[in-house]
Amino acid sequence: MCGRYTLSEAPEALRLQFQFDISLNIEPRYNIAPSQLAPVVINSQSRRKIFMFQWGLAAKGRPQEPLLNSLINARAESLLDRPSFKEAFLNRRCLIIADGFYEWKTEYRTKQPYRIHLKNNMPFAFAGIWEKSQADNSEAPQPNKFAIITTAAVYSISHIHNRMPFILKPGDYENWLNGDGLEVIKKSSTDSDMDLSFYKVSPELGNINNDSQELLKEYDPPQLAPVSYTHLTLPTKA
In a domain? residue 33: yes
pLDDT 10s digits, 65-99: 555 568 999 999 999 999 989 999 999 999 999 99
In a domain? residue 163: yes
Alpha helices in the chain (DSSP H): 11-18, 83-91, 173-178, 181-188
- Looking at residue 69, what is its pLDDT? 61
pTM score, whole prediction: 0.88
- Looking at residue 59, what is its pLDDT? 82
- Separation CA 231–CA 21 (nearest Å): 70
- Looking at residue 225, what is its pLDDT? 59
Give residue 110's domain range: 5-216
- For 224, the 3-state DSSP assignment is coil
In a domain? residue 90: yes
Pick out the chain residues at pLDDT < 70: 61-69, 135-140, 189-193, 224-238
- Separation CA 93–CA 111 (nearest Å): 33
- Looking at residue 137, what is its pLDDT? 58
In a domain? residue 99: yes
In a domain? residue 222: no
Radius of gyration of the chain (CA): 21
In a domain? residue 228: no
- Looking at residue 231, what is its pLDDT? 55
Whether residue 95 contacts residue 176, with contact meaning beta carbons closer than 8 Å, is answered with yes
- Separation CA 76–CA 205 (nearest Å): 27
In a domain? residue 94: yes
In a domain? residue 19: yes
Judging by DSSP bridges, how do beta strands 100-107 and 145-152 pair with one another? unpaired
Q: Cβ of 184: how many Cβ atoms within 10 Å?
A: 22
The residue type at 53:
F
Instruction: Report the CATH number at residue 78.
Output: 3.90.1680.10
User: In the 8-state DSSP scheme, what is residue 65?
Assistant: S
- Looking at residue 134, what is its pLDDT? 73
With a CB cutoff of 8 Å and minimum separation 6, the contacts of 174 are none
Residues recognised as catalytic: 2, 103
Q: Total domain count for the chain?
A: 1
